[in-house]
Amino acid sequence: MKIESNRMVALTYDLNVGEGDERELMEQATAERPLQFIFGANMMLDAFERELKGLGEGDTFSFSLTPEEAYGEYEEERVIELPKKIFEVDGKIDKKVLFEGNTLPMMDSAGNRLMGSVVAIKDDTVTMDFNHPLAGETMHFDGKVLSVREATAQEMAMISSGGCSDCPGCGPEGCG
């Protein structure tokens, strides 16, 4: 069976970022913990799916995605200082939540949800970076297709309802 829309795909990969000898291993999906997703269900980057389309079980792949194909260029204007007060709960800062390097769910003034990484904490302000962690990076994928099958009706229903299926990597924020 080949990878096409509405198929459940399981694969392994190494994701390296950077150029030439400066590449750094950023993420791995292993045979024990493969990436599983429904192809064509807007779960993955379009360019990532384009590279996998038509592959079958046992096929290997190796491709790169430019920042434009992935998460865009890094934008300095997406790094902003916010009043520290907005992070208070009952008048206190929870240091188990607000610390440098942590990524927090936030909401902009229009009600859009976004994730921000804490860059710095000062007396009255918190510097947040709202760029995707891989913004500006060229991503290099090397991997293997473990399986391709028709997605079940339950899996399709969970995706169409905005819920999460029982695939590994799922958590309270949705599929990984």
- Average pLDDT, stretch 150-176? 63
Task: Determine the Cα–Cα distance for residues 70 and 40; give it in Å rounded to an integer.
Answer: 16
Give the CA count within 13 Å in the CB-facing half-sphere of 141. 23
Same fold, 7-71+136-160 and 76-129: no
Q: Are 63 and 141 in contact (CB under 8 A)?
A: yes
Q: Domain 76-129 is in which class?
A: mainly beta
Please state the domain extents for the chain: 7-71+136-160, 76-129
Answer whether residue 174 shows pLDDT above 90: no
Encode pLDDT of 43-99 as tens digits: 999 999 999 999 999 999 999 999 999 999 999 999 999 999 999 999 899 999 999
Answer whether residue 41 shows pLDDT above 70: yes
State the amino acid at position 51 in one-letter form.
Answer: E
Show the 3-state SS of 128-155: EECCCCCCCCCEEEEEEEEEEEECCHHH
Share of the chain above pLDDT 90, in %: 77
Name residue, tokens 């790094």. Answer: 79
Query: Is 7-71+136-160 in CATH node 3.40.50.300?
Result: no
- Bridge partners for 2 per DSSP: 56
pLDDT for res 163: 52
Please state the φ and ψ torsions of residue 137, each to the nearest 5 degrees.
-100, 140
- Specify the range with the lowest mean pLDDT, choosing from 12-16, 38-42, 106-110, 116-120: 106-110
Nearest to residue 78, comparing CAs of 119, 114, 131?
A: 131
Task: Determine the Cα–Cα distance for residues 63 and 54; give it in Å rounded to an integer.
Answer: 15
Helix spans in 34-83 (H) = 46-52
Nearest to residue 71, comparing CAs of 139, 6, 12, 142?
A: 139
CA distance to 34, 41, 146, per residue, from 151 (Å)? 16, 11, 15
